Structure 1
Amino acid sequence: MIAQEQIPAVVDHPVYDTQGKKIGDAKHVFVDDVTGRPEWVTVKTGLFGGSESFVPIQDATVVDGHLEVPYPKDRVKDAPHVDVDGGGHLSSREERRLYEYYGIDWDDAWQRANEPGDGGWAHGAAGTGGAAGTAGAAGAAGTMPARGEGAGAMADDSLTDDSLTDDTMADDAMTRSEERMHVGTERVESGRVRLRKYVVTEDVQQTVPVRHEEVRVEREPVTDANLDQAMAGPEISEAEHEVTLHEERPVVETRAIPVERVSLKTDEVTEEETVTGRIRKERIELEADDLLGRDADEGRS
């Protein structure tokens, strides 16, 4: 349980769940009108903190400048949307609805609140008939509504939803409410893309011209022009003459040269996606009791 003097350490500070994940920032702290003790905190969740979720703080603790609540992040984010009245009060019906969502027994909660001695948190110094004041000095938005004329009246089994919420029936009018669906977006990680460079080996072919030498025998008659060369050797002898042949062969070498620059860039694409939700609406019908036992159609003009 958080004490009233700890409210400044909660508002606008982070709120973490049971696994140490940040849920959001605390926006408002709601205290009981009768006891003045903090009961609920609203946490800004969703994209850019566009929505607020109610979280009970009977079992919450303040640790190292942040609030820790005994509920997982997804459970808090999916909590029922609750509208408070213009005075910043949470109605008893909405409070019961939140208690049911978080698995807290309504009657058990008020029995714990009214336990004798220090065990019942509704018996604090502010546990008298009137409102205990608001947490406005600590930056909270409003207070919880008083349930009866004192803390003990909260656990009265004779109270029903109609008696708790229909406080304005004296003006002969009903207020019809309905839920509105507000759809936003949040940016989440959908995947990762990376560039990886690796080496492959492939066979390539290239045609290159090569040259080689071949032997050709030439014969020429002896004439006055080459007579001296013809008479230079012995008249009759054995001899041999050798010629070295040459040829070209392909030589292959490889060189690494830069051919392309590859990088990753992201493009933002906007698509239309249809979101389906379920909302509740109140309907008001006219019912009449025929006190004289006549048919409903009799006497109509």
Structure 2
Amino acid sequence: MRLTEQQIRSLYGQDVQDRSGAKIGSVGQVWADAAGEPTWVSVKTEVVGHHESMAPLQAARLQEGRLRVPYDKATVRSAPSVETGTDEPLGADQLAQLYRHYQLQQQGAVRQPEQPPPRMPGAPELTRSEERLRVGTESEPAGAARLRKHVVTENVHTTVPVAHEEVSVVHEPITAANPAGVRPGIGAEQREMELHAEHPVVIKEQVPVERVRLTKDEVVEEQPVNAQVRREQVDADVPEPARRR
């Protein structure tokens, strides 16, 4: 990532975000290569300790005062680290570990961290300080999700076709073409015909219909933080004839 000198200076203390926008920490120091191009930054995380994780500036982006790197939070936090406040250049072994961790092609040597320009000896100076917010995140239980099942009863209305037999009385005359077939006689007599009718039958069976499970995703959202910070101002009282025009 090619940056101007002003942008390099502004990196210090900026929030560092992973590729999803989640905050990892803030920029501690910046390392440049032999040509003076910034190549690595150390990231101050909320993890207790005196070490800062290293992250490459290759493919990183500056967005609205934040530095976003194309890696997830876990990858950056588990990267090789340096001691907080170190002014030592990165060694060959450190660089090799970093390039392996981020699966990058190794470049040339890296100089010591960028330092402010040297001061003029004997010149009066004041150190101006200011408060800066270091806003982090802390994970805490937010409830528990459970799966429960219970039985409910509902009415089901449906229809089913049913059949039944009906009897019709048919009268046929006895003729020469349609003889009776039996000898005629007068007397009481009875014949029966069995009739059938269908009726609905309900059978219940248990059938698995779906599988229900719980999943969870991490959702990142911006939450406003309001706080007051103090800063010092330095006023120069220079006589009029000595002022530079």
TM-score, structure 1 length as denominator?
0.36
TM-score, structure 2 length as denominator?
0.44
Name whichever structure is richer in strand by fraction. 2
Q: Over alpha carbons, which structure has the higher Rg?
A: 1
Name whichever structure is richer in helix by fraction. 1
